[in-house]
A and B are shown apart, each in its own frame.
Chain A
């Protein structure tokens, strides 16, 4: 059973339809990447999963259970974690406090979870008492991911994790994504940087105008000349 399924979903904002009959699947332990041009509805697909948007038709399922428009805190308890693209840290709080907020719904000791996040992001441990708002873009992205990982989620959803980062940091972030995945966490990733994310991904979806255009194993999409022409400029 796939861990996440978007099944024939049409949805949008207000009266504007953004996603048209979208199908998407993430299997256990996979990295799935969604690529496509701007305005393709990639971020909208993420918001749909996380209940920020209701599907007009179709359903969203997590491990077979219908979670269409479930409240975020319910999803968090089920093991879904979401890192938005912008405003993804609590700027007024320290790194450590950001992590603690990630685990809000949990009871029990946080120290082991924090330690795991710090092991993954040693730089965060050095700066754990620093306010997140004072950190660089790359460090903030790490804080954002760390916050989500405090839940030890089954599925981690990342909305353009490399946005606005220098190439060296982009590589670092993707490396971390690989490390996270190595621990068994499935990753669904929306990315502008199609080439690097498809290199990383097990499977990919190419969206355009809110519709499925292509999908398949990451390597195949990378090699596909059509995809290369249209979307792999970067």
Chain B
């Protein structure tokens, strides 16, 4: 009895979230219809959706870290895209010095690629933690307004990008140029490359790991708690500095892997991080800032919308689609899918 009364009182909350979901469903429907009227075959739409899920997995890897950092540190980490870029390029660098054992069929990459990933991911995690120690922490200690930390992350973004330009130049790079990457038929006439299945699988595996960390370990729960309410975390006695360390390690590592995956599937260029930043933020806002599972959902939604829109839009406009979605979310329900109205907005 009392429970029904409570649910009734909270109905406006739910309808807001419903409204957002309905809006998203409508957008997807519109896109699908637009694509069909443009003469796009349904199986291409399906293929695009599958590719969108894979891209969404890559975005989720970046968005989860970005969301946690946003929640724990109250910092919109503008250098997060660059962490993905650095991850991709460092992997590339390692591959040039490691012996190549030939591709692991049916994929296009070798065993050394996986080894390189295993080295680069924690390295980038550590790098981002060191950047925090060197740049953001002194500002925090000084009591600087959060905007100065955001500005510093902007400076770091451009600095990292410059370093990538310096070391590798402005041209496109590929992990394995010249290696054949044939597609495989899945079902219903959908063709995907084995690499893409690997990417999706790896993204899912990492997300499961992150889930286990966040749900089953004390540090993971402390991370979620701090991302949810940093002031209360301090008051409750949570070791916020350790939470910060873990947040950067995880955020940086995931971003690095996401960047390498993107490079594996498409190509690498120094601007790629900045270019991905917009879809990453869109995913984070859609999924509610500070909520890593929301970031996963947001990443998938953005990825699918991006790919579907390429059926009738110039594919270069993918980030623009993410932007439009983000603006819609800000207009309809700024706290995102899982947020509480009036709290963060």
Contact = CB atoms under 8 A, between A and B. Distances in A.
A–B: direct contact at CB < 8 Å: yes
Interface of A: 50, 52, 72-73, 75-77, 82, 84, 87-93, 97-98, 100-102, 104-105, 133-134, 136, 147-148, 151
Given A104-B218, A136-B6, A72 B228 contact: no
Interface of B: 6, 10, 218, 221-222, 224-225, 227-229, 231-239, 290-291, 338, 340
Given A90-B229, A136-B6, A82 B224 contact: no
A100 B221 contact: yes
A73 B237 contact: yes
Contact of B291 (A75, A82, A92): A92
Nearest to A105: B237
A89 B232 contact: yes
28 contacts: A72-B236, A73-B234, A73-B237, A76-B237, A77-B237, A84-B232, A84-B235, A87-B231, A88-B232, A89-B232, A90-B224, A90-B225, A90-B229, A91-B340, A92-B224, A92-B225, A93-B221, A97-B225, A100-B218, A100-B221, A101-B236, A104-B218, A104-B222, A104-B239, A105-B237, A134-B10, A136-B6, A147-B236
Contacts of A52: 235
A73 B232 contact: no
Given A73-B238, A101-B222, A133-B340, 14 more contacts: A50-B235, A52-B235, A84-B235, A87-B229, A87-B231, A89-B232, A91-B340, A92-B338, A93-B224, A100-B221, A104-B218, A104-B239, A105-B239, A134-B10
B224 A72 contact: no
Contact of B228 (A93, A100, A136): A93
Nearest to B240: A73
Contacts of B228: 90-93
A72 B234 contact: yes
Given A87-B229, A90-B228, A90-B229, A102 B221 contact: no
Contacts of A82: 235
Nearest to A102: B236
Contacts of A92: 224-225, 227-228, 290-291, 338
Nearest to B219: A104
Q: Among A50, A73, A84, A93, find the residue whose CB has the most chain B CB atoms closer than 10 A.
A: A73
A148 B221 CA distance: 17
Contacts of A133: 340
Contacts of A105: 237-239
Contacts of B6: 136
Contacts of B291: 92
A76 B239 CA distance: 11
Nearest to B238: A104
B342 to A, nearest CB: 12
A60 to B, nearest CB: 16
Nearest to A135: B6
Nearest to B2: A136
A53 B132 CA distance: 25
A101 B218 CA distance: 8
Nearest to A133: B340
B333 to A, nearest CB: 16
B211 to A, nearest CB: 14
A130 to B, nearest CB: 11
A167 B128 CA distance: 50
Contacts of B227: 92
B236 to A, nearest CB: 6
Contacts of B225: 90, 92-93, 97-98, 101
Q: Which 4 A-B pairs have the closest CB atoms?
A: A76-B237, A92-B228, A73-B237, A105-B237
Contacts of B340: 91, 133
A87 B340 CA distance: 12
A92 B336 CA distance: 14
A177 B238 CA distance: 24
A102 B232 CA distance: 10
A90 to B, nearest CB: 4
A18 B224 CA distance: 34
Contacts of A151: 237
A14 B309 CA distance: 52
Given A104-B222, A136-B6, A91 B229 contact: yes
